[in-house]
Amino acid sequence: MPDNQSTSTVAVVDVYSVNDTDDKVTLTLNMSDGDSSVTNINLLPGEPGIVGSLTRLLGTNKGLKGQTLTVTTLVIELSGNDDTSMTIVINGGKEKYSHKSEKSVIGQGDSVLYTADIAFI
């Protein structure tokens, strides 16, 4: 955590196995209750700054192979419980992927930058 203790980061780096079909792959981000979040997704360049939890179609298995999904989310703690989280769920590939990242902060108004780099292999 930086010196001012009000910002922190959580990084997820992983891989997701896709196949050679045209089946669709979807991404779901579930953010912590009562907090405010804004998200950028590199595979959705036309939708900068998505507010809150989301579900989006990323593409087909075949089309995503070899690409990297980068999610950048800024969460502001507003609920007063000092806990933030981001759950990533990817469906449609070889298996369902789910990963929950959590970070506690010192107080309301503190921010957490969640980043996720997921390579489709």
Partner 1 sequence: MKKSVRIAAVFLLIGSAALGQSPGSTDTTITLDLLRAPSSPAVNLLGIAPSDIEKPSDLSAFRLSLNQATNNFTQLPKSYAVEFNPWLLFSDSNRTIDRLRKNDFVNNFKQSFTLSAGIRNLDAGEEDSLSPAKTKVAFGFKFSIARGTLVDDKLLDTIIGMQKLALKEIQVGIDSLISSDPAYKSAVAKFHSFHDAGLNDSAEFYQKAAASRHEVLNLQILDLNQTLPLLKSKAAGFQMRRTGFKADVAGGLALDFLEERFSDSRVAKAGAWATAGYEGRTGWAFLALGRYLFQPDKIFADKSGTVSSANIHTLDGGARLIYSAPQSRFSLSSELIYRSVLNKSAVPSSWRFTVNADYDIGQNRKLTFAFGRDFDGTVSRTGNLIAALNLLVGFGNSKKLQ
The residues of the shown chain that bind partner 1, judged by CB under 8 A, are 2-4, 6-9, 11, 13-15, 28, 30-40, 48-49, 51-53, 55, 66, 68, 72-74, 76-80, 87, 107-111, 113, 115, 117, 119, 121
Minimum distance of partner 1 from residue 42's CB (angstroms) = 9
Choice between 25 and 31, CB closer to partner 1: 31
Minimum distance of partner 1 from residue 21's CB (angstroms) = 18
SS3 for 4?
coil
In sequence order, which ranges of the chain are alpha helices (DSSP H)? 61-64
Quote the Cα angle for 63-65-66, to 5°. 125
